């Protein structure tokens, strides 16, 4: 039975017309391919799935919005917002960075959401969004799946230089692991890589940002997916042991993180080995200078899962390093023993989730949370997936700028998450009037904004879909600047005094997932 049909049949009659208006799934220039889950082996499994999804829909449909969109003068809104900055002023948090980095698990900072913490969450969310915005999705391109920019100008091109970080390393991941191929490969026979993907990057705060936040902060950003209807089909997989003890994690996530092949150009070392080598180098570099160093790992969707694996490894191998994870729309990753080991290692995790987003329910959509109570007592359910850390729960109904109705892609979009974080005050308040982030960004890859704003949906794409008119009047694919062509053999000198990092290898990847 098709997923949409199962949902439809379990809705109340008054809600079914809304299902008929479900938007088609689009990408940025990001093509989405959405399939229905396979037939389940038992009717009980189908019944449980539909019951859970129906419950989710009731959560979305039954409760009235807390903000009245009819009270907004949309003409005045446009005039006022266009003349205001898109970011809040930076506060010096050097004396409070331990709280911002979760020394107390963000107690008393989430509800209400502390102004300083809100800005830090958005900062790391923008680092995760950069992995989508710089991604080459064009299946007609010989560089399909690579990062469109070299690491020296990634933040400058995407307008993120204001955050005060420099990229020091790109991360690769294998594309032939046992996971679905959601993004069509390049149509060209000759392409830059057939085995690997650009999966993210490592960066580090510059001197000015380091003074503001009170320590040298290393950031790792992992790329993810935004095709939520795929998760049920592809992530009901076995748990696999990791590290020591009884900790287990989802097989597919671990494969992405650890796979490598000596015959490939970009993955002779795994994503795990690449990121840990660079993080270790940076920690040693700045500790030798007498600086305090932290590691903050971020990611959306699949990227949030990889961030947890990365945090687990970093905390296990680098002594006395404060490690935090700020994830968005991330699925469950491992069992209860994995959660407990992360806690014992001192890893601090903040999960930002949207109430209507189904991906954080997975793997193990139906059970898990209710079974955790039994496992905490008996200690026998090693196969139960569980979430880790503190949770900041958002609701699409709190924003007057977001459409009502069902939109799986929009619910899971990272830009929707960042919009809601910017407007969140506490669980009982309406969307804050002082929110600065540009609302138009929400529609980059979906159709979530109310029509009154007149913002086109899925507007984020290359002009003329990447074609340019040459001197002869012919529309052609442009040649990439040599500095932006991925090459594992091209060595780059990172001319950043704050890094003093010497020579790095240019690392760029091919797509593992659609976005």
Residue-wise pLDDT tens digits, 305-354? 999 999 999 999 999 999 999 999 999 999 999 999 999 999 999 999 99
- How does DSSP assign 211-244, residue by residue? HHHTSEEEEEEE-----GGGHHHHS---EEE-SS
End-to-end, the C-alpha distance of the chain in Å comes to 25
Q: Is 375 a catalytic residue?
A: no
Write the CA distances from 86 to 49, 209, 226, 246, integer angstroms.
Answer: 41, 19, 25, 46
> Which of 175, 205, 272, 301 is flagged as catalytic?
301
pLDDT computed for residue 235 by the predictor:
54
pLDDT of residue 194: 74
pLDDT reported for residue 35: 33
Comparing 225 with 56, which gets the higher pLDDT? 225
3-183+195-505 classified as CATH 3.40.50.1820: yes
pLDDT tens digits for 264-280?
Answer: 888 889 999 999 999 99
Predicted local distance difference test score (pLDDT) of residue 61: 47
| 218-254 pLDDT, tens digit each | 999 999 874 444 444 445 568 889 877 889 998 888 9
Catalytic residue among 30, 101, 412, 419: 412
Does residue 473 have a pLDDT over 80? yes
| Residue-level pLDDT at 352 | 98
pLDDT score at 78: 59
Report the 10 Å Cβ neighbour count for 85.
8
Q: Is 357 annotated as catalytic?
A: yes
pLDDT in the model for residue 71: 63
Task: Please tell me the distance from the alpha carbon of residue 496 to that of residue 280, in angstroms, as a whole number.
Answer: 18
Measured between alpha carbons, how far is 482 from 480 in angstroms, rounded to an integer? 6
Return d(Cα 514, Cα 34) in angstroms, integer: 10
Q: Where are the beta strands (DSSP E) in 160-302?
A: 165-174, 196-205, 216-222, 239-241, 248-250, 293-300
54 is known as an active-site residue: no
Mean pLDDT of 489-511: 38
Domain residue spans of the chain: 3-183+195-505
Query: Would the pLDDT of 182 be above 90?
Result: no
Q: What is the mean pLDDT of residues 109-136?
A: 95
What band does 88 get if pLDDT is binned at 50, 70 and 90?
Answer: low
For the cut 60, the answer to whether the pLDDT of residue 498 exceeds it is no
Annotated catalytic residue: which of 136, 195, 357, 422? 357
The pLDDT of 389-411, averaged and rounded, is 94
pLDDT of residue 436: 86
């Amino acid at each position: 039975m098709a997923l949409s049909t199962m949902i439809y049949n379990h809705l109340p009659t008054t809600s079914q017309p809304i299902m008929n208006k479900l938007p088609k799934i689009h990408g940025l220039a990001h093509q989405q391919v959405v399939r229905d889950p396979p037939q389940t082996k038992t009717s009980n499994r189908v019944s449980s799935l539909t019951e859970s999804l129906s419950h989710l829909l009731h959560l979305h449909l039954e409760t009235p919005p807390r903000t009245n969109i009819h009270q907004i003068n949309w003409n005045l809104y446009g005039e006022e917002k266009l003349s205001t900055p898109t970011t809040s002023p930076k506060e010096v948090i050097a004396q409070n960075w331990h709280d911002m980095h979760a020394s107390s698990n963000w107690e008393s900072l989430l509800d209400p959401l502390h102004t300083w913490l809100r800005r830090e969450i958005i900062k790391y969310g923008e680092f995760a969004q950069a992995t989508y915005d710089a991604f080459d999705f064009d299946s007609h391109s010989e560089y399909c799946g690579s990062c469109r920019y070299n690491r020296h100008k990634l933040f400058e091109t995407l307008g993120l230089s204001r955050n005060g970080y420099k990229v020091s390393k790109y991360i690769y991941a294998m594309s032939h692991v046992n996971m679905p191929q959601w993004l069509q490969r390049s149509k060209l026979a000759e392409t830059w890589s057939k085995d690997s993907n650009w999966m993210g990057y490592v960066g580090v705060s510059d001197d000015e940002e380091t003074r503001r936040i009170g320590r040298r902060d290393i950031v790792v950003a992992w790329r993810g997916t935004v095709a939520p209807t795929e998760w049920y089909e592809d992530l009901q997989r076995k748990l696999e042991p990791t590290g020591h003890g009884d900790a287990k994690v989802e097989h597919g996530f671990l494969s992405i993180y650890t796979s490598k092949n000596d015959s490939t150009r970009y993955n002779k070392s795994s994503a795990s080995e690449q990121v840990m080598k660079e993080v270790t180098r940076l920690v040693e570099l700045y500790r030798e200078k007498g600086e305090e160093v932290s590691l903050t790992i971020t990611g959306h969707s699949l990227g949030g899962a990889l961030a947890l694996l990365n945090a687990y490894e970093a905390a296990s191998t680098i002594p006395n390093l404060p490690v935090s994870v700020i994830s968005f729309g991330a699925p469950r990753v491992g069992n209860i023993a994995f959660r407990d080991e992360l806690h014992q290692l001192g890893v601090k995790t903040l999960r930002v989730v949207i109430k209507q987003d189904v991906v954080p329910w997975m793997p193990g959509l139906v059970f898990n949370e209710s079974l955790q109570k039994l496992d905490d007592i008996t200690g026998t359910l090693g196969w139960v997936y569980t979430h880790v850390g503190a949770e900041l729960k958002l609701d699409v109904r709190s924003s007057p700028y977001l459409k009502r109705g069902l939109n799986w892609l929009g619910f899971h979009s990272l830009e929707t998450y960042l919009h809601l974080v910017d407007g969140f005050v506490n669980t009982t308040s309406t969307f804050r009037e002082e929110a600065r982030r540009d609302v138009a960004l929400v529609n980059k890859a979906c159709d979530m904004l109310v029509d009154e704003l007149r913002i086109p949906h899925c507007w984020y794409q290359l002009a003329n879909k990447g074609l340019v008119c040459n001197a002869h009047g012919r529309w052609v694919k442009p040649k990439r600047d040599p500095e932006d062509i991925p090459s594992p053999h091209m060595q780059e000198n990172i001319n950043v005094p704050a890094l003093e990092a010497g020579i790095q290898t240019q690392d760029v990847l091919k797509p593992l997932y659609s976005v």
